[in-house]
């Protein structure tokens, strides 16, 4: 890994370098929130000091909410040719890069999902460490620092960015932008870097205590509070749509009126929906909302560790901001801890 410097006075030139590599996307305001939007002019590429978490995370670039997997006739099928542009996403926080690393494991372990891989190979991630927002708790989920999964990663050290180069693509970008990326990192960079980390660590507001929650998930699987949450839950599925590590999908065949041709579609699903666990014969494995909530939190805080070695909650806080009835990792952990 290499460390370089990008002066803030040269920040305006960054867009012209990045657009040589593909479409440039970054957080843009939408009402009181942010979404990832395509950047068309260099003035619109804003690198924020604060951590910006767009409503729908990076997973939208890797697995579209709805797409055609294949088209079929009675005698054959074909996979549609897709023109997937290379996409450079700028300003991705460390927690969301951890989430992409989790998706990488999920979509490539045991079975390689080619639909995912085609998009992953065309995604360039420019990370950015920012000051935490009110609901961030990545310092508690060990996801506030990231060492892999990005192409470039920026730290704001005052009048310049310290830039880590994390991949060959990142190296290509800094070569292309040789006039703005400098090897001459200031002598006091390590002092400033330590200060930055210290100040950022002090600025977390959300102090949720995640210690021991994996065991508590097991011990409290039948606790009455799950029914209380189940009473309140609206089964709206918003928590799963915004969670950067949620991957549930459904596959359906859409038939033409002739009944002979059609297409197979894949779209985002949610384990919070009642029909998610409905099987033939009208049997539903998770009829109650409490059961579905338990499934989600078991997956986030416990089960994923058994398969992949880490929890699948990266502490982004989106579920805290999104759930209309205040069910989220913090309120669940608080209940578990009494």
Which residues lie near ligand SF4 (CB under 6 A)? 233-239, 242-245, 272, 300, 313-319, 322-325, 327, 329
Q: In the numeric block, which tokens belong to residue 242?
A: 């915004």
For ligand SF4, the closer CB: 138 or 173: 138
Q: Is 5 or 294 the residue whose CB approaches ligand SF4 more closely?
A: 294
Kindly state the helix (H) or strand (E) to which residue 252 belongs, with its residue range. strand 249-255
Pick between residue 138 and residue 152 the one whose CB is nearest to ligand SF4.
138
Per the CB < 8 A criterion, the answer to whether 335 and 227 are in contact is: no
In this complex, which beta carbon is closest to ligand SF4, that of residue 165 or of residue 243? 243
Shortest Cβ 293–ligand SF4 spacing (Å): 6
Nearest approach, Cβ of 336 to ligand SF4 (angstroms)? Answer: 14
Q: Least distance to ligand SF4 from the beta carbon of 302, Å?
A: 12
Cβ 99 vs Cβ 57: under 8 Å: yes
Residues 6+ apart with CB under 8 A from 126: 18, 88, 89, 90, 91, 92, 150, 151, 152, 153, 154
CA 323, CA 311: separation in Å to the nearest integer? Answer: 21
Which of residues 99 and 126 has its CB atom nearest to ligand SF4 in the complex? 99
Query: In the bound complex, what is the minimum distance in angstroms from residue 304's beta carbon to ligand SF4?
Result: 11
Alpha carbon distance 61, 122 (integer Å): 9
Under DSSP, the state recorded for 24 is E
SS3 content of the chain, % helix, strand, coil (to 5): 35, 20, 40
Report the nearest approach of ligand SF4 to the CB of residue 114 (Å).
26
Q: How far is the CB of 265 from ligand SF4 (least distance, A)?
A: 23
Distance of CA 78 to the CA centre of its chain: 31
First to last CA, the chain: 44
**C-beta closer to ligand SF4: residue 5 or 286:** 286
Strand 2-7 vs strand 23-30: parallel, antiparallel, or unpaired? Answer: unpaired
């Amino acid at each position: 890994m290499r460390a370089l410097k990008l002066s803030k006075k040269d920040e305006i030139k960054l867009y012209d370098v990045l657009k040589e590599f593909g479409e440039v996307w970054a957080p843009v305001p939408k009402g009181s929130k942010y979404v990832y939007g395509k950047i068309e002019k260099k003035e619109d590429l804003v690198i924020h000091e604060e951590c910006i978490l767009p409503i729908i995370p990076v997973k939208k670039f890797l697995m579209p909410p709805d797409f055609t997997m294949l088209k079929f006739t009675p005698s054959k099928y074909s996979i549609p040719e897709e023109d997937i542009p290379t996409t450079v996403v700028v300003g991705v926080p460390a927690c969301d890069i951890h989430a992409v690393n989790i998706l990488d494991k999920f979509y490539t372990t045991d079975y390689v999902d080619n639909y995912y891989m085609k998009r992953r190979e065309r995604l360039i991630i420019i990370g950015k460490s920012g000051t935490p927002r009110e609901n961030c708790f990545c310092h508690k989920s060990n996801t506030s620092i990231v060492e892999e999964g990005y192409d470039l990663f920026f730290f704001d050290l005052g009048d310049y960015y310290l830039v880590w180069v994390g991949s060959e693509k990142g190296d290509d970008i800094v070569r292309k932008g040789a006039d703005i990326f400098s090897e001459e990192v200031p002598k006091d960079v390590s002092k400033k870097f330590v200060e930055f980390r210290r100040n950022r660590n002090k600025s977390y507001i959300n102090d949720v205590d995640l210690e021991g929650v994996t065991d508590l998930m097991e011990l409290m699987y039948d606790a009455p509070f799950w029914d209380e949450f189940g009473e309140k839950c609206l089964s709206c599925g918003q928590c799963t749509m915004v969670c950067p590590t949620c991957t549930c999908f459904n596959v359906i065949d859409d038939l033409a009126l002739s009944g002979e041709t059609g297409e197979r579609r894949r779209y985002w699903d949610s384990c919070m929906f009642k029909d998610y666990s409905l099987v033939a014969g009208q049997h539903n494995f998770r009829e109650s909302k409490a059961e579905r909530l338990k499934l989600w939190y078991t997956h986030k805080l416990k089960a994923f560790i058994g398969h992949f070695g880490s929890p699948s909650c990266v502490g982004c806080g989106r579920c805290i901001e999104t759930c209309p009835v205040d069910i989220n990792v913090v309120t669940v952990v608080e209940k578990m801890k009494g």
